[in-house]
Every structure is written in structure tokens, then in C-alpha cells.
Structure 1
Amino acid sequence: MLTTVLLIVGLTALVQWRAYRREAAANAQYPPIGELLDVGGTKVHALVRGSGPDLVLIHGASGNMRDFTFDMVDELATRYRVILFDRPGLGWTDVLPQHAGAWNKRAASPADQAALLQQAADQLGVHKPIVLGHSYGGAVALAWGLARPDQTSALVLVSAVSEEWPGSLGWQYQLTGSTLGSGLLIPVIMGFWPEKLVQHSIDSIFAPQPSPAGYISHIGPDLALRRVSMRANSQQVNSLLPHIKEMVPRYSSLTMPVEVIHGTADTIVPMDIHAKVLMTQLPNAHLTTLPGIGHMPQHVERRAVFDAIDRATARAGLR
């Protein structure tokens, strides 16, 4: 019995040590690339580039702002003031406090996240921005518009989660979102997840297109594998559906221009379930359909995404 206990304690210590070492390496290799704002005691990682109409970019699940800095921001910054944020618990932004008060005792909802990022944007002097959200970030962009309809010039929704979906999430989210998985599995993943599986995961997100050369080394996937980030991401994704259900009846109040862009081959956030339905709920929306394109059009059909941003800007009367 004592031998078993000592073995368990030893294995647990080894897993936590490996996870700590890998997290420390990720933090050193991928430090903040912007500034760290203090928003009511919560650290928010923000990056501002360029000049022109304000354009806020909000990344998806298991990601960070580096997704946009890979091959988008340099060109956008020639004609926009681009403002990027890491969402709560991801990249270098803190998890929202789970105590009673300004933030609820639960995973941060899209509305919670939008409120935090809006306060950070206020500190940066952001004025009536165009707000672009990718994937899960699309839900946050929609929440942003719902919270500040008169202060949001336009929305651009790229492969965005917007509607109720049938069935359950993948097993990985259910497992890592459980108490047992959070406590036991997540440290194992952080400590021992092989690079080959990281590559496979990224490739599955881009499918049927390949991931661009250099993308993985740029975004720093180990940042998303850190224990605090994996827990925050799992909690956010697992709790998203009821928040979407609450938001859907309010979409008709979003009267600002909305550009929706979605690939027909997106199996992560299917177009027929999300974008096509959303078009029946928004009074001032335009849909761009990308035949054969998967979940990452901001990289594989970047020009189409830039065109959607420019259309939103023109429709909002900012140019």
C-alpha cells in the first residue's frame, strides 16, 4: 500500500514538473508582443499597430493574437489602426476572476469577455471600431455589438460561432472540461504532448487546406497547452451553448453593417448551421461564401477577408 502511494505521488510530481518546465519554456520563447493593461486588476494583453479607422481583432478558441500577427496585421496596419487582444485565460491575458462581483462565478461568457476587452479598448482610446471575430471570437464580437450597438461601426464574422448546434462537443473538450480531466489529464498533456500531435491538431483545424509554413513556430502552440489556458479554454467552450441561446433572440437588434465570411468545407463551425442561419437573423448583413475552404480563411483566403473588412468599413461610412 505504501509503495503504491509513493508511486502515485512520484508520478504526480513528475507530471507537474514536466508541465512546469514546458510552460516555462513556452513563456520564455513566446513573451508578450504588446502591452499589458490593468483592467480592474485583470491583466489584458493588447497590441496596437498602424493608423486609420479602429479595427479590433478577436481570436478563436485555443489561440492567441499571434494568429493574426502571422500574416495579416502588417498589411492591415497600412490603412487601419489595428487593435489585437488575447482573450481571457489565453495568450497573456489573465483568467477573469471567479469571485462574486463584477464577474460571475463561472467560465467567462462571450459577454463577460467582450466587457473586459471593451474596457481595455477604452484605455487605448478605441472609437467606434470595426470588430472582427474568428470562430469562438465571432461569438465575442457579436456580444461586443450587442453590448455597445451605438459604439460599434461594423462587425466582421469569420467562420464565426453564432447559432445553437446539434449534438455534443468533441470528446477532448468534454474530458478536459471535467473535474478529473482538468486535474489529471491537462498536466499530462502539457508535460508530454508530442510535437507530432500538435502538428496534426493544427492541420485538422486548417483542413482541407494545409497549414502555412512557419505558422506553428510563430503562434507558439505550447502557450495554449499551458494548464491555466487549457482549463480556461475548455470551460469557455463547454459553457458556450447556453450563452449562444441567450444571444440569438437579440441578433435582430444588431443594425450596424455585418460582413459574414465562411468556408463551405468548414467542419469545425459548419456554415449551414451558423452563417446561413445567422443571415436570416441580422437586418444588415452580407454573406461571402468560400467554396471548398475550411475553418481558417484569414490565412488561406486572406484577400477575401481583407475585402470583407474593407466593405464593412465602407458600409459604415468610415471611408
Structure 2
Amino acid sequence: MKRALRWGLATLAGAGAGGIGLSLYSRHVAAEVERRVPPDGRYLEVKGARLHYVDRGSGPTIVMVHGLGGQLRNFRYALLDRLAETHRVLLLDRPGSGYSTADEGTTPGIAAQAEIVGRFIATLGLDRPLIVGHSLGGAVALALATQRPELIRGLALIAPFTQPQSVPAAFVGLAVIPPALRRIVAETVATPLGQLTTARTVAAVFAPEEAPADFATRGGGALSLRPKAIAAAAADLAAAGDEIAAIVARYPTLTVPTAILFGRGDAILSATLHGTRTAATIPGARIELIDGGHMLPITQPDRTAAFIRDNAAHYAGDSPAA
């Protein structure tokens, strides 16, 4: 009995020491990542979050909302300079992602994040901006359109998450983290495991196109290795699965003009399911399919920028077709 007790205590001590070591290592990685990829913009306090954002250019306003595990550098990489020539462009880190934080003790889901984006628009006094949502950011944009249509001029959705589906293989690791253990896993084993699988995950997200060599820094990809980013992405993934059906049910009543851009080769979200089917459900929605994968803002910047500009003009009444 005494021997068993000693073994048990030794095992617990070893596990505790290992956990502390992993936690210290993860914090070191996070600090190094933030040194290499520092904040780009300014901060705004709204109810529910402290938001990090970039504000560039002048003209009709565009607000851009990134996807799962991403942050505003996904748009800054190639789209910001192109769009800021003719528009005021605001890139936003969603709560918990990038350098934005949700209020302590809260984990806002898709609908709650949409409310926070609405407060961001109202607090800055933006005049009915065009909302651009990429991937999971598309779901947030659609939720905002159902909540506060009077705040926005239209939606330009890029490879948006719009329908219930099984978890893409690239994100299964996030999906298997139990909610009760999310923080512990994120602060110990998730970062070193993420380092081992990063190359494979990035390749899957960009497929069939190739990720640029500087995506980790210029594209902000390295920020996803921080424990708090992993926990937030896991929570976002769970919330998306729980909430998307309620958003889908409101598509037939949407009054906000909506356009969707999808890559035919998207390996994360089906263009047929999340693009064509959704466009057929939203009154007046338009869809455009192009050659490319899921990360069109980075891999197809000219075509994506043209899609955004064309829809900004169309919704403003500047297009002959409007």
C-alpha cells in the first residue's frame, strides 16, 4: 500500500512538473510570436470586448471580418493597400483572435460577436459600411445582417461558412478539445502540438493553392500558436456548429444585399453547399465562382479586391446595374 501510494504521488508530481514545463514553454512561444508579429493598429472598448483594428484610407467604408483561427493580417497581407486607394477600410480582429480580447469570463459565440461588431460600427459612427466576411467571418457578417440590418449597406462574403457541416479535417484537433478542459489543454499541450502540425494545417487550408512563405509573419499565421488563440478558435468552432442552424433559418428574411465569392477548389468549405445553396436561399443574393481555394484574400488578391469594390459600388448605387 505504501509503495503504491509513493508511485501515485510520484506520478502526480511528474505530471504536475510536466504541465508546468509545457505551460512555460507555451508562454515562451507566445511571447516570441508576439515579438515577431506585433499589433498593427489601435484599440476600441465596446461592451463585451476590447477590439484591435486597423483604419486606413478614405471614401465609402468597408469593414472586414476574418475567419477561424485568423486575424486582421489575413486581409492586410494583400487586400488593404488595394482597397484603401478608393475606400476607408477597417480590418477587425474578432474577440479572442489576434489582439482583440473578450471581456473576462466571457466567450462570445457567433451571434454575440456579431453584436460586438455592430457596437464597433455604431461607436465609430460608421455610415452603413459594406461588411466583408471571410470563412467563419461570413457567419458573423450574416448574423449581423439578421440583427442590425440598418447598420450596414451590404455583404460581400468570401468563402463564407453558411451551412451546417461536419468539422473540416484541418480543424479536427480543435473540435476534440472538451470545453471543460479547453483552457488547460490550450495552455499546455496545444502549442507544442500545433508547432508539429502547422505546416500540414496551413497546406490544407490553402489547398489546392500554395501558402506564401511569409504567411506566418506578414499574414499573421504564427499568432494562431498562442494558447489564448487556440482556446478562442476551439470556442469559435464549437459556437459555429451550435449556432449556424438558427442563422440559416433567417436567410429567407434577409433584406441586406448579399454577394458571395467562392473558389471552385476550396478544400475547407464546399462552394456548392456554402455558396450556391446559400445564394439560392437569400433573396436577391448573387454568387461568383472562380478558380482558387479557401484563402482567396491572400492567393487571389486582385480578383478578390475587384469583387469587393464592385459590390461596394453596386450597393452604393454607383453601378449601372444598381
Q: Could you tell me the TM-score, scaled by structure 1's length?
A: 0.90
Report the Cα distance in structure 2 between the residues aligned to 1:57 and 1:177, rounded to whole angstroms: 30
Aligned counterparts of 1:98 and 1:122: Cα–Cα separation in 2: 24
Aligned equivalents of 2:295, 2:79: Cα separation in 1? 12
Q: Is the 8 A contact 2:186 2:227 kept in 1?
A: no
Please, which moves more after superposition, 169-178 or 223-232? 169-178
1:306 aligned partner: 305
- Asked whether 1:85 is paired with 2:92, we answer yes
The C-alpha deviation readout for 1:107-156, integer Å capped at 9, x for no partner, is 42222111112212223221100000000000011112112212211100
User: Does the CA-based 8 Å contact 1:254-1:282 persist in structure 2?
Assistant: yes
Q: Deviations over 1:13-56 (max 9, x none)?
A: 11011011111222222221111111136311011000011100
Supply the distance in 1 between the matched residues of 2:300 and 2:185 (Cα, whole angstroms).
39
Structure 1 residue 180, shift from structure 2 partner:
4.0
Is 1:121 aligned to 2:121, yes or no?
Answer: yes
Aligned residues: CA RMSD: 2.0
Q: Tell me the alpha carbon deviations over residues 198-242 of structure 1, each in whole angstroms, 9 at most, x when there is no partner.
A: 233212111101112322221333321221221111011122123
Greater alpha carbon shift after TM alignment, 45-54 vs 184-193: 184-193
**Contact persistence 1:36–1:44 (CA under 8 A):** yes
Q: Residue 175 of structure 1 aligns with which residue?
A: 176
Counterpart CA distance in 2 for 1:213 and 1:47 is 24
1:46 maps to 53
SS in 2 for 1:19: helix
Q: Which runs of 5+ in 2 are unaligned?
A: 1-6
Alignment of 1:68-217 (within 5 A): 68-98=75-105, 107-165=107-165, 167-168=166-167, 170=169, 171-180=172-181, 182-184=183-185, 187-191=188-192, 193-194=194-195, 197-217=197-217
List per-residue Cα deviations over 1:247-278 (Å, max 9, x = no partner).
Answer: 11211222232110011111211111111111
- Larger radius of gyration, structure 1 or 2? 2
AA paired with 2:241? L
| Residues matched between the structures, number | 309
Kept in 2: contact 1:46–1:84 (CA 8 A): yes
Contact 2:36 2:217 survives alignment (8 Å):
no
* Alignment equivalent of 1:19, drawn from 16, 26, 32: 26
Identity of aligned residues (%): 27
Output the CA distance in 2 between the equivalents of 1:294 and 1:224.
Answer: 20
Matching residue of 2:315: 316
**d(CA) in 1 for partners of 2:210 and 2:219?**
16
Structure-2 separation of matches of 1:181 and 1:245: 24
Identify if the C-alpha distance between structure 1 residues 96 and 251 changes in structure 2 by more than 3 Å, giving closer, same or farther: farther
